[in-house]
C-alpha cells in the first residue's frame, strides 16, 4: 500500500512460498504491518486502500521497514513499483524480482486486462466473485498473487516452458519482461513484430521510442523489432 506521487508505504504484506515441481506451496501465510508514510495520505490512495492518516498516525515510520538480506527473490504484480516503494523507505537490499504482470502479458497477450483482479476473475472466477471486494487490502492482494502465480506457472508449462523451481521461474520471468505485444494505446494487443512490418506501425514504434517514460523492456522489444527488418 502506498501514499501519494512519491510512493511511500502505509502497509506492507508478505508471505513465504516455495516453488517445487511447478507448484506454489505456501510456507508462511500472509502477514501485514502498517506504517506511517510521514506525509499526508492522498485522497486517491485512501480511495484504493481505505487507509487514512489517523489509521497510521501511531504506527512506526515507513523508513523503519527493512528487507532481510536473506531474501533472494521478491514476487509481485508490478513488482518494480513495489521495489520503488521499498527504496523510498531506505531499503538498499535488492533481491531478484519476479513480475507476475510481465508473465501474464507474455502468456496472455490479447487478454483484455492484466490487472491482478482481472486475472483472478480469468483463472479463479468463484474466488474472485467471493473475495475480490477485498482487493487492495494488502493481505488479500498477497493471496490473489499466490493464486494467479500458480495459474501462470501451469499455463507456461502447458505452453512448453519449463518452470520447476524458483530459479527457473525467475529465468522465465526475465524472458517475459521483454513484451511481444503492446499492452496499451491504439495498438493494444497487437504483436510488436507485426507492427514493425507496416509503415504505420514503424512510425508508431519510432514515436514510442522517443518517449521519456517508455518502459526499458518495451524499448528493447521495439528496438529488436526494428533491427529485424
Distances (CA, A) of 227 to 48, 181, 202, 211: 42, 17, 11, 19
pTM for the full predicted model: 0.86
The answer to whether residue 23 scores a pLDDT higher than 60 is: yes
125-179 per-position pLDDT tens digit: 999 999 988 777 889 999 999 999 999 999 999 999 999 999 999 999 999 999 8
Which helix or strand (DSSP H or E) is residue 17 part of? strand 11-20
- Residue ranges per structural domain of the chain: 2-177, 183-229
pLDDT band at 189 (very low <50, low <70, confident <90, very high): confident
The answer to whether residue 3 scores a pLDDT higher than 80 is: no
Q: Show the DSSP H helices in the chain as ranges.
A: 43-49, 53-56, 79-88, 100-107, 116-123, 125-131, 138-158, 166-177, 192-195, 199-209, 216-227
Residue with cell 497477450: 109
Of 89, 94, 138, whose CA–CA distance to 116 is shortest? 138
- Sign, Cα dihedral of 117, 118, 123, 126: positive
**pLDDT for res 4:** 42
**Could you tell me how many helices (H) and strands (E) the chain has, helices first?**
11, 6
Please determine, looking at this structure, whether the domain spanning 2-177 carries the CATH number 3.20.190.10: no
Distances (CA, A) of 41 to 9, 34, 49: 10, 13, 10
The answer to whether residue 2 scores a pLDDT higher than 60 is: no
Whole-angstrom Cα distance, residue 68 to residue 50?
A: 28
Can you read off the three cell numbers belonging to residue 52?
487514512
Of 165, 126, 119, 169, whose CA–CA distance to 144 is shortest? 119
Amino acid at each position: 500500500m502506498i501514499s501519494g506521487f512519491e510512493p511511500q508505504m502505509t502497509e506492507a504484506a508478505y508471505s513465504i512460498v516455495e516453488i517445487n515441481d511447478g507448484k506454489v506451496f505456501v510456507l508462511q501465510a500472509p502477514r501485514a504491518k502498517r506504517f506511517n508514510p510521514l506525509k499526508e495520505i492522498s485522497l486517491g490512495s485512501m480511495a484504493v486502500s481505505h487507509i487514512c492518516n489517523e489509521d497510521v498516525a501511531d504506527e512506526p515510520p515507513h523508513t523503519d521497514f527493512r528487507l532481510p538480506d536473506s531474501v533472494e527473490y521478491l514476487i509481485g504484480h508490478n513488482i518494480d513499483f513495489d521495489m520503488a516503494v521499498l527504496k523510498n523507505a531506505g531499503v538498499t537490499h535488492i533481491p531478484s524480482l519476479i513480475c507476475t504482470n510481465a508473465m501474464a502479458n507474455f502468456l496472455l497477450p490479447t487478454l483484455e486486462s492484466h490487472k491482478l483482479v482481472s486475472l483472478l476473475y480469468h483463472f479463479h472466477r468463484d474466488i474472485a466473485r467471493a473475495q475480490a471486494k477485498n482487493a487492495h487490502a494488502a493481505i488479500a492482494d498477497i493471496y490473489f498473487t499466490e493464486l494467479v502465480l500458480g495459474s501462470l506457472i501451469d499455463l507456461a508449462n502447458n505452453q512448453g516452458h519449463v518452470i520447476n523451481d524458483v530459479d527457473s521461474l525467475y529465468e522465465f520471468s526475465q524472458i517475459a519482461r521483454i513484451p511481444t505485444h503492446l499492452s496499451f494505446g491504439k495498438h493494444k494487443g497487437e504483436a510488436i513484430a507485426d507492427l514493425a512490418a507496416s509503415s504505420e506501425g514503424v512510425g508508431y514504434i519510432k514515436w514510442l521510442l522517443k518517449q521519456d517514460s517508455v518502459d526499458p523492456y518495451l524499448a528493447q522489444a521495439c528496438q529488436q523489432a526494428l533491427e529485424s527488418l
